[in-house]
A and B are shown apart, each in its own frame.
Chain A
Amino acid sequence: MEKRSHGGPILEIDRLSISFFTRLREIPAVMNFSASLQPGEALGIVGESGCGKSTVALGIMQDLGVNGHIVGGSIKFKGREMNTMTREELRDIRGSEIAMIYQEPMASLNPAMRIGKQLMEVPMIHEGVSKAEAHARALEVVTDVKLPDPERMLNSFPHQLSGGQQQRIVIAMALMSKPSLLILDEPTTALDVTVEAAVVELVKDLGKKYGTSMLFISHNLGLVLETCDRICVMYSGEAVERGTIEGVFNKMRHPYTKALFRSIPLPGADKNARPLVTIPGNFPLPHERPNGCNFGPRCDYFEAGRCDQDHIFMEDAGIDHESRCLRHVEIDWDAPRVASVQTEKPAPGCVVLKMNNLKKYYEVAASTLFASGDLKVVKANETLTFEARESETLAIVGESGCGKSTFAKVLMGLETATSGEILLDGKSIGNIPIEKRDTKTVADVQMVFQNPFDTLNPSMTVGRQITRALEIFKIGNNDRERHSRMLKLLDLVKLPREFSGRMPRQLSGGQKQRVGIARAFAGDARIVVADEPVSALDVSVQAAVTDLLMEIQREHKTTLLFISHDLSIVRYLSDRVMVMYLGHVVEMGSTDQVFSPPYHPYTEALLSAVPIADTKVKKKHIVLEGDIPSAINPPSGCPFQTRCNWKDIAGRTRCETEVPLVRRLDNGHQIKCHLTDTDMANMEPVIQITSE
């Protein structure tokens, strides 16, 4: 098919409305959504889960499934109306003119088809090219997405590739026919931070190279800032603010956008001096949306009798900037934030937990199916040594496979240590499995889990689950005492008492996470391991849950071990940070020490990789090559040497053969690296805030 050339915007969406139909009712997912996209431009659509951003993408592709239907508005692609296209016309456009990339790279590739065949299919369908030509094209594109050994890549099956490589293949597939429009739906959410940074970089470069327009859908404001020219913020099915990146980021004109920015931990936020401002209330369900402004019930600027009356339309709010707020002219946007409760930083107390040269090795069969005799040793944790004090927050940072979850398991007693010891109040517990620990010890060390949808037993009421924890910790003498204690715990996590009779499925993600926290504190835990407790939650809920954890910690003088890959939140709430890579602690120190030079090269890259939603922040640009090695086959020498940008400076052979020793710098700051003191001293800070 000959590609049409077209002068105007690539994509024009005008008052698009999409609904899903169930047996009971129509559920409007997107309402009156308008947008336009010029050639070569990148538009970001940002919003929390359920706001309808992915539905917009599928609506453009006209692939809404059996229940979804476009109920109004128009989508024009290069001037042609897509809503009335026949199936054949759509098929011609899909893949050749518009391509789409989604979240799960593994799921997007056919597991039983070689990658080459999946790539070659695209030009063969759309341009009818020969096999040889398609193969040549595939080779070229795979080289373009910077994959090593393209010929071998084309011959492999998807499962033989790592997550980052798979996503590159998906991008390559999307670019095979040089489409005019690329839709990316959360393309990096499933990837590790450093891999994400590399993929984002690639997408940006290729977008420029091929001149493709992009529609970038994400929940991450920082990512959109880094990739897009224009932004559209969505809330509950509607676009609430639209404009250029600079316009929206610097002069937000909708209360929701404002609230969103205040609830994410940007550099400069501090849990004691400048705590995050949480958005009250919950996201409305699609069929329970309020009259008037959808954000009304949660808005600080809500005016009864005005904001809850008629439908609210987009209004101009500056040059190339629109807002769906009646009061956007009246609100004093530059007013200093309301002084929220400031708290004293509690002084860390005595040492509660002490790790001494803790090691955890696993033995696994080399291959799972054709299990042969030889076993491989996976070194999940290498010589961990640290202390944690009362009322202190210690963050453990690292990407997948770094050993942070194994560490949690050993501490909890689900696994026993291979060597070394864990001292709780001077008592060794490292080799005592959980069944042998006394109730007090078990109740003292508790855990908050990552996935809110998985953390509660779906077939037990909330109250019952908390009461069970009380029973097992032997708290309360009878059912009545335990019941009242359970209600107090619900108060503690700020949930209404009626929730005790609800089933987990009736709760939102944030509420479930609160129940998880209540359960962990049932036995007055003194050490709480929080394994990415907020990473699966929406941005606006994250702040509330984090705040809650902090508050309980202050009251109970809890030691919090906060496991996370998100450096923004770590910087916000932790007192000390421990950075792990492939089982090794590569850097440890107070938050200030870790977030300012000298860095371990990995910390440096990690800091650079985290997208920051602030136009005032200037970041040093560091992209790591390749993927995280597997813990089964760790590299020789320094674990980080395969991806390190400083290897040449530190001495190649040394890095590749010797595991560096722990270097102790001032005030308990320690780094595991071969770099000399002078090299370290010459490091520049990664993040700088330019004051305007």
Chain B
Amino acid sequence: MGLFILRRLGVMVLTAICLTFIVFWLTNLYPKLEVLAKTQGNFRMSDEAVISYLGNRGYTQALPVKYGQWLGVVPGYIIEGSDGEIRSKCERNSPPTDETPTFCGIIQGNWGFSTVAKEDVADVLPTRLGNTGKLMFWVLMVMVPGALIIGVLAGMREGSRTDRSLSTVSIIATATPEYVSGVILIALFATPLFGMQYFKGTATSAMDNITFNNFFLPVMTIAIYGMGYIARMTRASMTEIMTAQYVRTARLKGVSFANIVIKHALRNALIAPFTVIMLQVPWLLNGVVIVETLFNYKGFGWELVRAASNNDIEMLLGVSVISVIVVLMTQLISDIGYVFLNPRIRIS
């Protein structure tokens, strides 16, 4: 077991390095740097000025070197620029002092500086993550129990009226991406168009104080899409189990229908949805970005959009690192959980 987790962790680290490298490469392509130089310096910079601006700030170093510096395994640059100033990475482009550390990458806890927020990435991200955490918490609270109940009810009697109705509902839910459900929900419940202005169409106020009124629509918007998917998975797994030979055995043992569902089928039927739920978490990130943009809720997704549209390299890298870690952690949890839920694998 320990070995298994170790191996998974190894793959995880490798994946994380590959992914961050790709992000680093994509954000450090020359046209992007050019834009950066022009937005940071001035828009009428000549090509030579751009090159010297970038060169003075270490951007023109070889890609692996830059990546190593960002990661913190290669000493941070100290460059005497064409304008005579000495800039060091570890002092935020000020001249180095005696206390300046040699390495200042992400491993040393230096997440860099956001050019848009004019703040340390490490200062911005926690609040953003906190906001998104609250949103995710409520989404999961609504989505997971709802989806499981729908799935189990639909799957326990395949082909019944209940099954067909609930399945149709979940198919409709999976066909409604967040930007569609968000728009429809807002139009229905937050504008005077249909005369049902019950909820708030923005969630800006929810950052300080979450109320039913301002949080219902964003939470529902994300939950609906994911709910349909998980419910369909649960239903599929449930119907498969209900036709299994051992459920027939249980029935012919005289076990009542309720007990068949609860004692015999449920545990086996939940193995597949569990992995799906865990793998759904990264997909929620998608929804989070859309919903936070739509409802103007300053969370992680909102920050991603802001950083990406302004080529805020270090912020974007920070955001990527966190999302990659989230994705990989959920994969790990889903693997381990699968092993624990499934005795066939656990004891062998």
Q: With a 10 A CB-CB cut-off, give which of B249, B342, B343 has the most chain A CB atoms.
A: B249
- Find out whether the CB atom of A93 lies under 8 angstroms from the CB atom of B254: yes
B-chain residues with CB within 8 Å of residue A91 when the two chains form the complex: 254-256
Chain A residue at minimal CB-CB distance from B257: A87
Give A60-97 as 1s and 0s: 1 = Cβ < 8 Å from B's Cβ atoms.
01010010000000000000000000000001111110
- Find out whether the CB atom of B3 lies under 8 angstroms from the CB atom of A96: no
A-chain residues with CB within 8 Å of residue B268 when the two chains form the complex: 110-112
- Find out whether the CB atom of A96 lies under 8 angstroms from the CB atom of B4: no
Is B1 positioned at the interface, with any CB of A under 8 Å from its CB?
yes
State the CA gap A99–B263 with chains docked (Å): 20
- Find out whether the CB atom of B343 lies under 8 angstroms from the CB atom of A92: no
Chain B residue at minimal CB-CB distance from A66: B159
Give B228-255 as 1s and 0s: 1 = Cβ < 8 Å from A's Cβ atoms.
0000000000000000111011111111
Chain A residue at minimal CB-CB distance from B246: A110
- Find out whether the CB atom of B343 lies under 8 angstroms from the CB atom of A112: yes
- Find out whether the CB atom of A92 lies under 8 angstroms from the CB atom of B254: yes
Partner of B252, one of A95, A109, A157, A368: A95
- Find out whether the CB atom of A369 lies under 8 angstroms from the CB atom of B4: yes
State the CA gap A368–B344 with chains docked (Å): 12
Known: A108-B246, A159-B343. A367 touches B348 (CB 8 A): yes
B-facing residues in A93-108 (Cβ within 8 Å): 93-96, 99-100, 102, 104, 107-108
Q: Is the interface of B mostly helix, strand, loop or mixed?
A: helix
Give A112-150 as 1s and 0s: 1 = Cβ < 8 Å from B's Cβ atoms.
110000000110011000000000000000000000000
Closest chain A CB from B264 CB (angstroms) = 6
A-chain residues with CB within 8 Å of residue B256 when the two chains form the complex: 91
Known: A159-B344, A369-B4. A109 touches B254 (CB 8 A): no
Known: A125-B254, A125-B255. A63 touches B248 (CB 8 A): yes
- Find out whether the CB atom of B1 lies under 8 angstroms from the CB atom of A370: yes
Partner of A112, one of B245, B250, B267: B267
B-facing residues in A299-333 (Cβ within 8 Å): none
Is B345 positioned at the interface, with any CB of A under 8 Å from its CB?
yes
Chain A residue at minimal CB-CB distance from B345: A369
- Find out whether the CB atom of A107 lies under 8 angstroms from the CB atom of B254: no
- Find out whether the CB atom of A121 lies under 8 angstroms from the CB atom of B253: yes
State the CA gap A403–B254 with chains docked (Å): 42
Is A173 positioned at the interface, with any CB of B under 8 Å from its CB?
yes
Is A160 positioned at the interface, with any CB of B under 8 Å from its CB?
yes
State the CA gap A110–B247 with chains docked (Å): 8
State the CA gap A104–B244 with chains docked (Å): 11
- Find out whether the CB atom of A113 lies under 8 angstroms from the CB atom of B344: no
Q: With a 10 A CB-CB cut-off, give which of A110, A122, A369 has the most chain B CB atoms.
A: A110
Partner of B253, one of A113, A122, A368, A369: A122
- Find out whether the CB atom of A104 lies under 8 angstroms from the CB atom of B245: yes
- Find out whether the CB atom of A111 lies under 8 angstroms from the CB atom of B246: yes
B-chain residues with CB within 8 Å of residue A94 when the two chains form the complex: 251-254
Give A138-172 as 1s and 0s: 1 = Cβ < 8 Å from B's Cβ atoms.
00000000000000000001011000000000100
A-chain residues with CB within 8 Å of residue B1 when the two chains form the complex: 370
Is A22 positioned at the interface, with any CB of B under 8 Å from its CB?
no
B-chain residues with CB within 8 Å of residue A170 when the two chains form the complex: 249
Number of A-B contacts (CB under 8 A): 82
- Find out whether the CB atom of B251 lies under 8 angstroms from the CB atom of A63: yes
- Find out whether the CB atom of A95 lies under 8 angstroms from the CB atom of B344: no
B-chain residues with CB within 8 Å of residue A107 when the two chains form the complex: 244-246
Chain A residue at minimal CB-CB distance from B341: A112
A-chain residues with CB within 8 Å of residue B248 when the two chains form the complex: 63, 108
Give A366-400 as 1s and 0s: 1 = Cβ < 8 Å from B's Cβ atoms.
01111010000000000000000000000000000
Partner of A157, one of B255, B264, B344: B344
A-facing residues in B262-284 (Cβ within 8 Å): 263-264, 267-268
Q: With a 10 A CB-CB cut-off, give which of B245, B252, B267 has the most chain A CB atoms.
A: B252
B-chain residues with CB within 8 Å of residue A110 when the two chains form the complex: 246, 249-250, 264, 268
A-chain residues with CB within 8 Å of residue B159 when the two chains form the complex: 66
- Find out whether the CB atom of B245 lies under 8 angstroms from the CB atom of A108: yes
Chain B residue at minimal CB-CB distance from A109: B246
Closest chain B CB from A100 CB (angstroms) = 5
Chain B residue at minimal CB-CB distance from A103: B245
- Find out whether the CB atom of B254 lies under 8 angstroms from the CB atom of A95: yes
Closest chain B CB from A171 CB (angstroms) = 12
A-chain residues with CB within 8 Å of residue B14 when the two chains form the complex: none
- Find out whether the CB atom of A121 lies under 8 angstroms from the CB atom of B255: yes
- Find out whether the CB atom of A370 lies under 8 angstroms from the CB atom of B246: no
Known: A107-B245, A113-B264. A370 touches B254 (CB 8 A): no
- Find out whether the CB atom of B245 lies under 8 angstroms from the CB atom of A160: no
Closest 4 CB pairs of A and B: A107-B245, A95-B254, A95-B253, A94-B254
**Can you show 12 pairs from A to B with CB atoms below 8 A apart?**
A63-B251, A66-B159, A93-B254, A94-B253, A96-B254, A99-B252, A110-B250, A112-B342, A121-B250, A122-B253, A125-B255, A370-B1
Mark B residues whose CB is within 8 Å of A. 1, 3-4, 159, 244-246, 248-256, 263-264, 267-268, 339, 341-345, 347-348
Mark A residues whose CB is within 8 Å of B. 61, 63, 66, 91-96, 99-100, 102, 104, 107-113, 121-122, 125-126, 157, 159-160, 170, 173, 367-370, 372
Q: Given known contacts A108-B248, A367-B348, what 17 new A-B pairs fall within 8 Å (CB)?
A: A63-B252, A91-B254, A94-B253, A104-B245, A107-B244, A107-B245, A109-B249, A110-B250, A110-B268, A112-B341, A112-B343, A113-B263, A122-B253, A157-B344, A157-B347, A170-B249, A372-B3
